[in-house]
Amino acid sequence: MPSSKSKSTGCSGDEKGARISASAAKLRLLKKLRCTLRFEKLAWANGAKLVAGVDEVGRGSLFGPVVAAAVILDPAYRIRGLRDSKLLPAERREELAVRIREHSIAWAIAAVDSARIDQINIYQASRLAMLHAVQQLVCAPDYLLADAVKLDCELPQRAIIHGDALSASIAAASIIAKVERDRMIAAWDPVFPNYGLASNKGYSTPHHLAALREHGPSPLHRLSFAPVWDAPVPQEVLSFMREEAEDAALPLVRARA
């Protein structure tokens, strides 16, 4: 268990402080970065008319789908306050999500569920969700700005490291994707009340990990993630689904797809 490991390491206070500083380094870096229209302006200057920012959320969660969004901002309307969704409090994200949906030229949200994540891995599932979001835009973009990854499509595109902290379009996508995914996961909390989903959104908090050890995974947990498949208690409905798949001589992944 994480708690027993931390007690047995014998780390000094300085070592613990260094580890905390390392884990907070990325957050500090993101706070220093400026989210602007620099990359959008470069694309516009090169002839692009409809530039879509694309991002995903939920990649590190143990539960539920990975959700992606694509947003084409209106160059004539500036939405103030856009930045990486991780740096914004929930109430501010909600406010900005409304403005993004109201004032963007187009936006779309797509999700890839946990069964598919287990089939193709979370990296590929994230890229697939992002591609589906782009494909669902009512206005077809002619240029993409994506957060750190290249998508499998013919559109000209640019992958930007820390894109959600640097590009206003990617930040807008991260915000509406985050708001939508939080809503989806909170809706499952009454169905699976043991895991504290409303508060942890499926991420590996101490309470969530303890619940997995005590109750095993739900049908919507990502079985390919180590804290889930390593849970000592099997989920009965998953065993039932496995038996059904064996009886039907079908692969389990197909039965769960």
Q: Return all residues near 41 (Cβ < 8 A) that are at least 6 apart.
A: none
What pLDDT, on the 0 to 100 scale, is given for residue 241? 47
Give the SS3 label for residue 257.
Answer: coil
To which residue do tokens 């993004």 refer?
Answer: 100
Are 150 and 54 contacting, i.e. CB atoms less than 8 angstroms apart? no
CB atoms within 10 A of CB 33: 14
pLDDT of residue 171: 97
The per-residue pLDDT for range 162-183, each reduced to its tens digit, is: 999 999 999 999 999 999 999 9
Would you state the structure tokens that stand for residue 16, as one six-digit string? 């613990």
Per-residue pLDDT reduced to its tens digit, 71-109: 999 999 999 999 999 899 999 999 999 999 999 999 999
- Domain range list for the chain: 32-187, 191-256
- The answer to whether the beta carbons of residues 233 and 214 sit under 8 Å apart is yes
Q: pTM of the entire structure? A: 0.82
CA nearest 170: which of 257, 233, 82? 82
DSSP class of 56: E
pLDDT category of residue 26 using cuts at 50, 70 and 90: low
CATH number, domain 32-187, options 3.40.50.620, 3.30.70.990, 3.30.420.10, 3.30.420.40: 3.30.420.10
Mean predicted lDDT score pLDDT of the chain = 86
User: What mean pLDDT do residues 38-48 have?
Assistant: 97
* Amino acid found at 67: V
pLDDT-derived band of residue 28, with 50, 70 and 90 as boundaries?
A: confident
Residue-wise pLDDT tens digits, 181-215? 999 999 999 999 999 999 999 999 999 999 999 99
